[in-house]
Structure formats: C-alpha cells, structure tokens
Amino acid sequence: MSKNLKRGLIEVGYFLSRSGKDGPPIELKVKSWKDAYSKFYGTFGLGKTIGEFNNSLKNLRDHFDSHLENNRIGWKEFDNEPQQLSSTNQEVFDELQKLSDESVWYKIEPYVVSGYNLSITERINLEIKKIEGKYFSSEFEGKKIVGARSALEANVYHGIVVDNLKLFVESSIENSYAYNTQKIDLALETEGNLRHIYEVKTATDTQSIYTAVGQLFMHSAGISDVEKWIVLPNSFANNDLINCPWHC
C-alpha cells in the first residue's frame, strides 16, 4: 500500500469515528458497521480477507473514538485519559479537526467503492497476497484497557520489539527484506530466499519458551536452511535451549 493510501485509510478511520456517532455514517447509506467497513475494502483491502480488513479498520476507528464525541469509549489510558495517537494519526486528526463535516466527507467519498462484487474482490486480493503480499505491518504498542465491566490495564510491548527487530536485522544483513504474517512475528529473506524466522516473547517462563520453539518449527516445516531465533526480554542461561541444534 502506498504512503498516500495509508494516510487515506487513517482519514477513513477518523471519518468513521467522527461521523458515526450512533451508528455508521449516514453518508455511506448502510445499516451495519460491517457494511460500512466493506465500502472501503475495494480501495484499501489489498492482501487481506474481508474479515481481516474490517477488524483492522474498526481498530483504527476505535483509536480516534476516545478523542471525539460519540457513544463509544475507544482506547483509554489507565487514568481514563484518551490514548496518545501515533504521529501520523495525530497529523490526520489535527488536519481534519479544522474541517467541516461536509469537507471531511468530500475527502473520504472518493475512497468509497459501491458497485463491485465483494467475493470477487476478496479472491483477487488474496491471489495478489499469495504472489506479492510479503509486507510488514506494525502491531499495536503501549497501554490499553481491557475488560468490559472492570478496567484492567494491559502493557503491550510485543509490537515495539518486533518493529525494532525488523530495523536491526535489515540493517545488519545486506540484501535482506523483513516481513511478518498473522502467524510469524518476523521473517527475513535474503536475495529472495527465506533465511531467518524470529519468534518474539515478552516473558521467559517455561511455557513461553516451549510455545516459541513449537511455533518456529511449525512455521519452518518443509523449508531447509532456515535459522530459527527466539527473542527474549533478558539474557539468561537455559540448558534446554543451549542444547538445541539451532540458533536461539
């Protein structure tokens, strides 16, 4: 997805939050949020199923909810303050806050795709993903409130570790390209060949390590000459890992 499209998708998330106060924005002429998200699948859904895209766009809308007036809570910090937006999301927020509702819709309307067959579009997107869809997608990082009735704080560090790991391995290995999938935290190709698979854990308990080992062997099944790496929060000696015949 190009830089302009990525920014356009953020603008859509803002629009859905601002104009969808009690339900989907009336401009979209739909009754459900599922149908509202689907209006943008033809423009932004490259490489994702319709379900994956809808969830992604919903999360983007939710990030803006705590900064705008609507009937949803959105992402909040532990002290119930709105969760800080990323730099790009903040830029979009500051820009569109200055515009009228009509002007915001004028920016969003070109992204709406109404006259297309959803199942055909999804199939084409998945075919493209299979051929060319090796891309890196940052995960959520920071604090979020979980639990519908009682507010529980969850610190999410996994995303920032994976982001920085990507930068490190790509800068350390020439002619390399890093990407991730729903199952693989990070994969590194060198000159078009898969060479490294990384599994990131934010804890060093036995269950986390056993899970990582299993994931690495499952993800590399049938692929020869792949280095398997576990990334842990601190350095420590573990005889079981040391005796494994692979890099860890």
Tell me: do 95 and 183 sit in the same domain.
no
State which residues form the domain around 55.
3-133
Tell me: do 163 and 127 sit in the same domain.
no
For 35-64, write each residue's pLDDT tens digit: 899 889 888 887 778 888 888 899 889 889
Quickly state the pLDDT bin for 33 (edges 50, 70, 90).
Answer: very high
Least confident of 27-36, 69-78, 204-213: 69-78
Q: Which has the closest alpha carbon to 77: 153, 160, 156?
A: 153
pLDDT at residue 14 in the model: 95
Strands 193-200 and 186-190: antiparallel
Higher pLDDT, residue 156 or 56: 56
In this prediction the pTM is 0.50
The answer to whether the beta carbons of residues 246 and 228 sit under 8 Å apart is yes
Tokens of 76: 């909040």
For 177-208, write each residue's pLDDT tens digit: 888 777 788 888 887 678 889 998 878 778 88
238, part of any domain: yes
Quick one: CA dihedral 200, 202, 208, 210, positive or negative?
positive
Tell me: do 114 and 162 sit in the same domain.
no
Tally of domains in the chain: 2
Q: Give residue for tokens 């209006």.
A: 39
Tell me: do 99 and 20 sit in the same domain.
yes
